[in-house]
Amino acid sequence: MKGKFITFEGCEGSGKSTQVALFREYLESNNIDYIFTREPGGNQIAEKIRQIILDVNNSDMTDECEALLYAAARAQHISQTILPALNEGKLVLCDRYIDSSFAYQAYARGLGLDFIKKVNSFAISNCMPDYTVFLDISSTEAFKRKGGQDKDDRLEQVGLAFHEKVYEGYKKVIESDPSRFLVINCKGAKHETHQNIINALKEKKVLP
Ligand code: TYD
């Protein structure tokens, strides 16, 4: 039987990395057979593409080039890592996936959903997540929650206006595909958020 494909998405500052780590601990302590992977990246070739995309020296990369590189990394990631694991019946947990391209490239960068869908449908050949956990907090709210102290991080470098667009983009994507998304309240303590994620996945029978 084919395994389940679960992705985590959220804005910068949403606590996604912490929640992914807590979720992995949960899977391990419950002996659930899974692989963890991430985007951009996930295997040797895709990680090389990641280095090009995230290299701060490549600040003159065009939005179009960036979008195509994300899709190229994804194509490699799917065929070499994600599909083989799903075919072995494993749960695949992926930190970011196609919805990041919808929110960041289509909406926030303004490349449009049609273009990003076209490029990605070529890259992913129908391999969509069964469920996507979305940590529902905007970067502005997350930044305020931290007391506005993160002066050096990427959030500040790119600007909150961009991240607001990312959040709006996610909201539109969720509206267009509501049954796939598990929209998680993450405004409380991190263990409460973790429990909200577990409860939502149990309800969908992804977890026993
Ligand atoms: P990363 O350091 O992994 O950030 P995070 O901890 O927030 O996941 O960097 C990934 C960055 O790449 C993040 O800013 C979102 C961006 N991204 C896109 O713009 N489009 C995509 O398709 C993907 C997968 C990521």
Domain 5-203 is of which CATH architecture?
3-Layer(aba) Sandwich (3.40)
Question: How far apart (Å, rounded) are the C-alpha atoms in residues 2 and 120?
Answer: 22
Question: How far apart (Å, rounded) are the C-alpha atoms in residues 10 and 180?
Answer: 15
Give ligand 1 pocket residues (Cβ under 6 A).
12, 16-17, 39-40, 70, 95-96, 100-101, 104-105
Q: How far is the CA of 50 from the centre of ligand 1 (A)?
A: 9
| pLDDT attached to residue 159 | 82
Check: CB of residue 157 under 8 Å from CB of residue 14: no
Q: How far is the CA of 120 from the centre of ligand 1 (A)?
A: 16
| pLDDT attached to residue 104 | 97
Share of the chain above pLDDT 90, in %: 88
Q: Of 17, 13, 32, 14, nearest to 201 (Cα)?
A: 32
Atom of ligand 1 nearest to the CA of 39: 24
Give the residue whose CA is nearest to atom 14 of ligand 1.
12
Each residue of 37-87: pLDDT tens digit?
999 999 999 999 999 999 999 999 999 999 999 999 999 999 999 999 999
Structure tokens, 65 = 């080039």
Q: Would the pTM of this model clear 0.85, i.e. be above it?
A: yes
Query: pLDDT tier at 143 (50, 70, 90 boundaries)?
Result: confident
Each residue of 174-186: pLDDT tens digit?
999 999 999 999 9
Atom of ligand 1 nearest to the CA of 11: 7
Q: How far is the CA of 95 from the centre of ligand 1 (A)?
A: 9
Share of the chain above pLDDT 70, in %: 95
Give the residue whose CA is nearest to atom 22 of ligand 1.
101
Structure tokens, 180 = 């796939």
Q: Of 108, 70, 91, nearest to 27 (Cα)?
A: 91
Q: How far is the CA of 56 from the centre of ligand 1 (A)?
A: 14
Placement of tokens 């395994």 in the chain? 3
Report the residue among 100, 105, 132 best suited for mutation to probe ligand 1: largest number of ligand atoms under 8 A from its CB: 100
Check residue 183 and report its DSSP letter.
E
Does residue 142 carry a pLDDT above 60?
Answer: yes
| pLDDT attached to residue 144 | 84
Give the residue whose CA is nearest to atom 2 of ligand 1.
54
| pLDDT attached to residue 146 | 76
